[in-house]
Amino acid sequence: MKKLKTLSLALLVGVLLVSCKPSVDDARKYNDDLIAIEKKLSATETEYLNVVFSDSTKAQKTASYDKVVKEANDALAAANKMGPFDDNSEYLDAGKAYFTVIKGLCDVEYKKALELITIEGRDLTEEENAKLNEVATAIDTKSAEALKKIQDAQIAFAAKYKVTIEETAPAATH
């Protein structure tokens, strides 16, 4: 009788452990939640880049900059509220790293681009144009590297948890 209770208890524990594993739907939702944060930030980032390099007014450019800074902070805060999935934080860590890079771009490169582009009363000097080109190159390089890392982490996450990733057009082009 004692062996039967031990066997029953071991079987119950085994069933509970298997039933506690996250499902594919859970993994898909987790992926979708993290990607929704990224897409919202990327859309705001693209909007900023379109506005700052257009004939928009200084006030419009500044408002767009403020919006992308807020969105970068919100994205990082939202990611920080998410916990790891199934005790695996690699994908989330890559997402946080991506959002941190974009926040850093806001703090340095986007701010510098705004300052240069909104100089009033004269054309940019050769030196200022060169600096703007350096800033644009830094934006492209940093965002591409960070985006690659989150994409690689997403692919690994999807493979591990059997989630199908649907390809979509990139939200931001720098």
Task: Summarize the confidence of residues 38-63 as an average pLDDT.
Answer: 95
Local confidence band at 1 (pLDDT 50, 70, 90 cut-offs): low
Q: Which residue has the higher pLDDT, 20 or 79?
A: 79
pTM of this prediction?
Answer: 0.83
40: left (phi over 0), alpha (psi -120 to 50) or beta: alpha
Q: Do residues 109 and 138 lie in contact, with contact meaning Cβ atoms separated by under 8 Å? A: yes
Mean pLDDT, the chain, rounded, equals 88
Nearest-angstrom CA–CA distance, 99 and 103: 6
Does residue 121 surpass a pLDDT of 50? Answer: yes
Task: Summarize the confidence of residues 118-124 as an average pLDDT.
Answer: 88
Number of C-beta neighbours around residue 99 at 10 A: 26
Does residue 14 surpass a pLDDT of 60? Answer: no
Domains observed in the chain = 22-161 (1.20.120)
Local confidence band at 16 (pLDDT 50, 70, 90 cut-offs): very low
Task: Summarize the confidence of residues 105-123 as an average pLDDT.
Answer: 94
The residue whose two tokens read 């071991």 is 10
**Per the structure block, which two tokens stand in for 81?**
């509220």
Does residue 11 surpass a pLDDT of 80? Answer: no
Work out the burial of residue 90: count CB atoms within 10 Å of its CB; fewer than 13 is exposed, 13-18 middle, 19 or more buried. Answer: middle
Cα separations in angstroms, 10 against 15, 20, 154: 9, 15, 35
**Per the structure block, which two tokens stand in for 135?**
């800033």
Residues in a beta bridge with 85: 88
Cα separations in angstroms, 87 against 18, 28, 90, 93, 108: 15, 16, 9, 12, 34
